[in-house]
Amino acid sequence: MKLNYSMTHLPLLHVASRERLIGLMKDAGIEKIWIAGFFSGKMIDIEELKAAKAFAESHGLEVGAVTIPIGHPGNALNPDDPDFEQLELPKHWHYRIDKSGNTVYYCGAIDASLIEDNAKAAMSLRAAGFKEVFLDDDLRAGNYNPDIEGCYCDDCIAEFNRNYSRHVTRETLHDTTLDKLDTDLMLDWVAFQCEKVTAVVKATDVEGVRPGIMVMHYGDERHGIDIPSIRESIPSTIFRVGELHFHDGSFGTPNGKAQEMMGIAYHLNFMAGAEAYSESTIFPPRSLKEHNLVYKAKLAIAAGIENVLFMSGTWLLEESYWRALASARPVLQALDQACSGSIRSYPVHVGYGTNGAYAESFVPSTLPVLAGLPAKPVRADQSCDDGEVLLFFGDYRLSEQWQAKLPSYKKVILDQPAASRNKEILEKLQSTAANLVVWDWDASATCAAEGTALLRELVVLNGWNFPWIAEGENLGITWLEESGQTILYNLAEAETEGVLDWAGDRYPVRLKPLSFAIIDRSGNLVEYAAEVAL
């Protein structure tokens, strides 16, 4: 485990307070900082970056660089500073245009000039001594939603037509991305957007610099982010896996925590934990309680991410956060030591479409995690050989790729929306597929407690050998199969009791608020609890 922090360089130049800041960060366990050096086409003063880097390194910290390569569509850096001057784009860039012809402000369209400027930024940062450049998650072709986006300006559409031998208009693309009937056109348009995003990463891959891209929560091809293609084109790339839940309003509920864990597990299907960084973010400032920031770090460790990256835009974390992390540091280290190097096993797969380009339902059901099953989202085009049960929940199509994978599962359970969407396909399959079960329930229903009980009834019928929570609520689980252990985590801000079923053996468990624990096959349990101030 390595703890990282992303920040602006300015606090490292403030002579009156920087020694204290470094002391707070080191007490919290921070080993590496990432300094923002390029904002939406504008370089930070190189000499200032050098001075900030030298000061941090003289105090034993590693230092990498972060860039904001195209600009966030809005002030996603620090709402406390609404006049933040770096938000304005260079005059020689052009703004992204959406499918309705509207300008997406603060956000550049990826063209030759933008790519060139990012390449120059990487070379300038290399000259300043930086060996890693992490591209922030504004590097995408769309926002957090299920739509196929991109830039629909006249120049970009003309370029697309040339490259793909097409003769489409903005109106054609608009209609196609909404009705989703012309699959070939959708695939071409998405590939075009992915090429642009990948080109920015390539431009940063200058000799002596390791590039990275921060991927937003469930970011995929529809957003221009083709992780397998980026890994193939630039094998040295590091990735931040997106989490989204930046404040107590979304993260403070068991469902928010479950969704974050599933988002992490989904992106880790594409990469190893050593290549991955967490997005342990607070946004806007002061909107996440200190104990929830600590919980984010625990989630990342439990999921197998080796680099925890705390982020807060250009707003500097206040002392209360550093104190909370320092207090929790021994617990984080002990949890990491207990499960480091162990492969995470997820025998329950949650079907999550076929490929991002098809723009199917966005963000899968969290019910399997809330029900205490060792579950993760999986797409049909991903190779995951640990699956025993497939939960096909929601408005997803049983594509030919999914149909080819169904025999590899011992049980395939479809909820009502999935069964309705695939009615004709199921009629053809059910005569030959004995492992198919149609569940008379909508997994997206708001009554999680009832859904949990009903889902567990289906599980118990089959007598699975993997561990799962047979009784109790708000207990998540990650299986360390090879080491014969299981990670349990309390999703609630209250003490929680439950029963773990492991191949028929039942173990009563009790976890403190927001606590994590590791239990072995003999029922020995070690709890990793940090301070929780409610």
Domain ranges of the chain: 2-88+106-144+188-242, 348-463
CA dist 15 and 19 (Å) reads 8
Q: How far is CA 101 from CA 149, 154, 236, 248, 357, in A?
A: 12, 10, 37, 35, 21
- 11 pLDDT band (50/70/90 cuts)? very high
Mean pLDDT of 235-260: 94
CA dist 424 and 441 (Å) reads 19
CA dist 483 and 217 (Å) reads 30
What tokens appear for 312 in the block?
């807060």
CA dist 292 and 307 (Å) reads 18
- How is 273-330 classified by DSSP, letter by letter? GGGEE--EE--STT-S-HHHHHHHHHHHHHHT-SEEEEE-TTSPPPHHHHHHHHHHHH
Q: Is 525 exposed, middle or buried (0-12, 13-18, 19+ CB in 10 A)?
A: middle
The pLDDT score that the predictor gives to residue 83 is 55
pLDDT digits (tens, 9 = 90+) for 29-62: 999 999 999 999 999 999 999 999 999 999 999 9
Q: Strands 95-97 and 103-108: what pairing?
A: antiparallel
The pLDDT score that the predictor gives to residue 446 is 80
pLDDT digits (tens, 9 = 90+) for 143-166: 999 999 999 999 999 999 999 999
> 429 phi and psi, to 5 degrees?
-85, -35
Candidates 432, 431, 406; CA nearest to 418 is: 406
Q: Is the pLDDT at 459 greater than 80, yes or no?
A: no
Is cis: bond before 90, omega within 30 of 0? Answer: no
The pLDDT score that the predictor gives to residue 533 is 80
The pLDDT score that the predictor gives to residue 383 is 84
237 Cα distance to chain centroid: 16
Amino acid at 526: V
Q: Residue 44 has what DSSP assignment?
A: P
Q: Is the pLDDT at 336 greater than 90, yes or no?
A: yes
Candidates 134, 343, 129; CA nearest to 238 is: 134
CB 241 within 8 A of CB 273: no
The pLDDT score that the predictor gives to residue 140 is 95
pLDDT digits (tens, 9 = 90+) for 266-280: 999 999 888 899 999
CA dist 205 and 222 (Å) reads 24
pLDDT digits (tens, 9 = 90+) for 291-314: 999 999 999 999 999 999 999 989
> 13 phi and psi, to 5 degrees?
-100, -10
The pLDDT score that the predictor gives to residue 342 is 95
Q: Is the pLDDT at 84 greater than 70, yes or no?
A: no
Q: Which of 323-337, 418-432, 464-478 has the lowest mean pLDDT?
A: 418-432
The pLDDT score that the predictor gives to residue 76 is 53
What is the pLDDT of the chain when averaged over all its residues?
94
pLDDT digits (tens, 9 = 90+) for 186-204: 999 999 999 999 999 999 9
What tokens appear for 498 in the block?
């439950």
Q: Is the pLDDT at 479 greater than 60, yes or no?
A: yes
The pLDDT score that the predictor gives to residue 350 is 98
Q: Is the pLDDT at 424 greater than 60, yes or no?
A: yes
Q: Which of 10-19, 423-432, 482-491 has the lowest mean pLDDT?
A: 423-432
pLDDT digits (tens, 9 = 90+) for 214-228: 999 999 999 999 999
The pLDDT score that the predictor gives to residue 60 is 98
Q: Which pTM value belongs to this model?
A: 0.95
Q: Residue 174 has what DSSP assignment?
A: H
- 457 pLDDT band (50/70/90 cuts)? confident
CB 279 within 8 A of CB 243: yes
Percent of the chain topping pLDDT 90: 88
- 462 pLDDT band (50/70/90 cuts)? confident
CB 299: neighbour CB atoms within 10 A? 25
CA dist 37 and 61 (Å) reads 17
CATH of region 2-88+106-144+188-242: 3.20.20.80
Mean pLDDT of 443-455: 90
Q: Is the pLDDT at 253 greater than 60, yes or no?
A: yes
Q: How far is CA 104 from CA 94, 238, 492, in A?
A: 10, 28, 38
More reliable by pLDDT, 473 or 106: 473
The pLDDT score that the predictor gives to residue 461 is 77
